[in-house]
């Protein structure tokens, strides 16, 4: 038996001392509070009141900073300072809340914190930046500064202003009804992590143009049954997902509303009983993005007025990805040149032309096209085989009208299943059947067959049986023809 030995590293005495001093297990986080009547500069130790047991000084990367009054970072553009946890409540009784003034500084918030009153001011310097790591929780006036009772929620804004940028690399947990507000001079919000509306708060702009939210990961509405509005420019390069209530997008950079009325990109997931609304100058006719409607009451709307138009009213082209779970009635015939996934036990009332990829079920399932379907030479139909039970273990497409076939049939196994000689799968049925797939991709090298029964309107695939049972199978496949002739 070969014995394994671990390599030991001997640290110099100085390195060992540094390790002990700065190890997370050895550091006791300090807590500092800034209020009125103190120095107004962050880097001045006299601006901070240390908590009991905390040495006099300035909060650093492992510390907690409680900001209760406006404070200034030094006017040193391009410099950077870090704090562990930042709790902001700069309410003052005689006017609007004070701000943390950046003057071109970068402030790194390493562990998040709680943001109630107040915000950040870039002081018209484009270098002014706040980087949020960890979880920053946006809350309303839970301190009852208005003295109107804790049972009354006072929604307050959480603002960045005057040309600055806020980058979220962690989680902005938007518990507040109050807004996260982008102020004047083209303030920018980059979401590299998750912005989660757990309530019906908003992302608003109050500037004069150029203010933008750029979503590079996830904007989520996980709570609140009302509406959360993103009223400025939204560049959704990631995912917008609505699990509860409604998200209204006032100016989506992914929506071309003048000429093509096209969703150009981004991923948009709507769970059942939730909605996404995009304000536009024209109703959606072409999808080149990624839309998931996860339930019969999941809604994707566009609107020019207060009347919301559902996706299925005007959509004619799917050039992106459209995934539908739950029955839908489309007003227009649809050409799918992208990817169309029809979920399990879902009926689409539509006349469909497939020049792209058509996927049936959802690993696997049974889907219905209530209308006609035609697959072009460029089209592809994907079918998963996971067992012998139709709809439950392998994909089945039912067409109530005519099915015209061409293009490719792509078969693949699901899970650990592998077909055996003699296994057969009826994958398609229609009221009438015309044409054949011009090519078939099989899941393995066994001798597969495809049988087109134009009288029954079915397509059956299978693995050729052993020679002793081949005649029986051919007889069973021909039986419907024989019975019809006798009738």
For 254-306, write each residue's pLDDT tens digit: 999 778 899 999 999 999 999 999 998 789 999 999 999 999 999 999 998 87
Query: Cα–Cα–Cα angle for 184, 220, 338, nearest 5°?
Result: 105
Give the integer Cα–Cα distance in Å for 181 and 120. Answer: 10
pTM of the complete model: 0.88
Q: Which of 196, 293, 282, 214 is nearest to 253 (CA)?
A: 214
Domain regions of the chain by residue span? 29-253, 342-487
What is residue 477's predicted lDDT score, i.e. its pLDDT? Answer: 56
Query: Cα–Cα–Cα angle for 23, 28, 31, nearest 5°?
Result: 135
What is residue 282's predicted lDDT score, i.e. its pLDDT? Answer: 83
C-alpha distances (whole Å) from 466 to each of 355, 423, 435 are 37, 11, 29
Residue ranges in the chain whose pLDDT is less than 70? 1-28, 92-98, 143-146, 150-153, 468-487
Give the integer Cα–Cα distance in Å for 355 and 361. Answer: 19
Give the integer Cα–Cα distance in Å for 192 and 181. Answer: 18
What is residue 136's predicted lDDT score, i.e. its pLDDT? Answer: 98
For 372-430, write each residue's pLDDT tens digit: 999 999 999 999 999 999 999 999 999 999 999 999 999 999 999 999 999 999 999 99
The DSSP bridge partners found for residue 80 are 106
What is residue 8's predicted lDDT score, i.e. its pLDDT? Answer: 36
* Contacts of 335-344 spanning 24+ positions with Cβ under 8 A: 338/287, 338/288, 342/367, 342/369, 342/397, 343/367, 344/391
Q: Is 213 helix (H, G, I), strand (E, B) or coil?
A: strand
Phi-psi group of 255: left, alpha or beta (phi > 0 → left; psi -120 to 50 → alpha; rest → beta): beta
Give the integer Cα–Cα distance in Å for 354 and 380. Answer: 8
Give the integer Cα–Cα distance in Å for 302 and 281. Answer: 9
Q: What are phi and psi of 471, to 5 degrees?
A: -65, -40
CA dihedral 43, 44, 45, 46 (to 10 degrees): -150
Tokens of 230: 């993103």
């Amino acid at each position: 038996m070969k014995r394994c030995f671990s390599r030991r590293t001997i640290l110099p005495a100085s390195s060992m001392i540094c390790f002990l001093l700065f190890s997370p297990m050895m550091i006791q986080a300090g807590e500092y509070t800034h209020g009125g009547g103190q120095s107004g500069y962050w880097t001045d130790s006299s601006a901070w009141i240390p908590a009991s047991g905390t040495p006099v000084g300035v909060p650093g990367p492992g510390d907690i900073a409680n900001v209760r009054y406006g404070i200034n970072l030094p006017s040193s553009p391009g410099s950077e300072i870090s704090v562990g946890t930042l709790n902001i409540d700069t309410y003052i009784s005689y006017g609007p809340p004070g701000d943390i003034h950046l003057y071109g500084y970068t402030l790194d918030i390493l562990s998040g914190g709680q943001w109630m009153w107040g915000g950040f001011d870039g002081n018209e310097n484009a270098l002014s930046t706040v980087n949020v790591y960890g979880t920053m929780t946006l809350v309303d006036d839970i301190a009852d500064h208005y003295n109107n009772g804790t049972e009354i929620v006072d929604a307050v804004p959480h603002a960045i202003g005057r040309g600055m940028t806020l980058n979220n690399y962690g989680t902005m947990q938007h518990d507040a009804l109050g807004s996260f507000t982008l102020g004047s001079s083209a303030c920018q919000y980059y979401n590299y992590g998750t912005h989660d509306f757990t309530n019906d708060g908003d992302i608003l702009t109050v500037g004069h143009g150029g203010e933008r939210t750029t979503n590079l990961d996830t904007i989520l509405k996980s709570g609140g049954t009302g509406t959360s509005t993103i009223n400025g420019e939204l560049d959704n390069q990631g995912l917008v997902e609505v699990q509860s209530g409604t998200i209204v997008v006032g100016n989506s950079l992914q929506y071309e509303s003048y000429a093509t009325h096209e969703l150009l990109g981004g991923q948009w997931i709507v769970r059942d009983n939730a909605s996404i609304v995009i304000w536009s100058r024209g109703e959606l006719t072409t999808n080149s993005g990624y839309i998931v409607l996860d339930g019969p009451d999941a809604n994707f709307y566009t609107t020019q007025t207060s009347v919301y138009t559902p996706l299925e009213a005007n959509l004619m082209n799917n050039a992106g990805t459209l995934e539908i779970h739950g029955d839908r009635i489309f007003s227009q015939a649809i050409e799918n040149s992208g990817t169309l996934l029809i979920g399990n036990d879902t009926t689409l009332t539509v006349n469909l032309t497939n020049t792209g990829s058509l996927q049936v079920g959802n690993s696997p399932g049974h889907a219905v096209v209530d209308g006609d379907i035609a697959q072009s030479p460029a089209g592809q139909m994907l079918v998963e085989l996971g067992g012998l039970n139709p709809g439950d273990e392998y994909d089945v497409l039912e067409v109530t009208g005519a099915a015209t076939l061409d293009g490719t049939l792509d078969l693949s196994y699901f899970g650990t299943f592998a077909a055996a000689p003699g296994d057969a799968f009826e994958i398609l049925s229609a009221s009438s059947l015309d044409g054949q797939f011009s090519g078939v991709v099989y899941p393995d090298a066994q001798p597969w067959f495809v049988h087109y029964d134009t009288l029954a309107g079915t397509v059956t695939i299978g693995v050729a049986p052993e020679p002793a049972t081949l005649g029986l199978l051919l007889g069973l496949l021909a039986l419907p023809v024989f019975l019809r002739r006798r009738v």
